[in-house]
């Protein structure tokens, strides 16, 4: 039976792969956090303009969006940035 020789996994290559994985998951976590913060900031700014314009019902909807984004930020901050989901 003929087998193809395989390159052995060395500790350094395993460590490099692990570090790359950690960076990619931490980077993804940071991207998610930034997206939620941006959502909160944009919704809060829109709510402010709507209040100034007298549109309370639309302002309230944007306040709800702000609260939801802040809640998602809080959930992200409770998670280890290196954890995968």
DSSP codes of every residue in 11-59: HHHHHHHHHHHHHHHHHHHHHHHHHHHHHHHHHHHHHHHHHHTT-HHHH
Residue 21 forms part of a structural domain: no
Residue 11 forms part of a structural domain: no
Residue 48 forms part of a structural domain: yes
Digits of tens for pLDDT over the chain (85 positions)?
555 556 555 556 677 766 666 668 888 999 999 999 999 999 999 999 999 999 999 999 999 999 999 999 999 999 988 776 5
Number of domains composing the chain = 1
Residue 8 forms part of a structural domain: no
Burial of 76 per CB tally in 10 Å (0-12, 13-18, 19+): middle
Residue 22 confidence (pLDDT):
62
Which residues form the domain of 79?
34-85
């Amino acid at each position: 039976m003929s087998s193809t020789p395989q390159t052995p996994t060395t500790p350094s290559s395993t460590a490099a792969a692990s570090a790359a994985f950690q960076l990619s998951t931490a980077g993804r976590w940071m991207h998610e956090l930034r997206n939620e913060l941006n959502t909160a900031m944009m919704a809060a700014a829109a709510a402010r303009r709507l209040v100034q314009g007298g549109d309370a019902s639309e302002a309230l909807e944007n306040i709800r969006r702000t609260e939801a984004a802040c809640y998602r930020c809080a959930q992200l901050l409770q998670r280890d940035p290196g954890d995968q989901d």
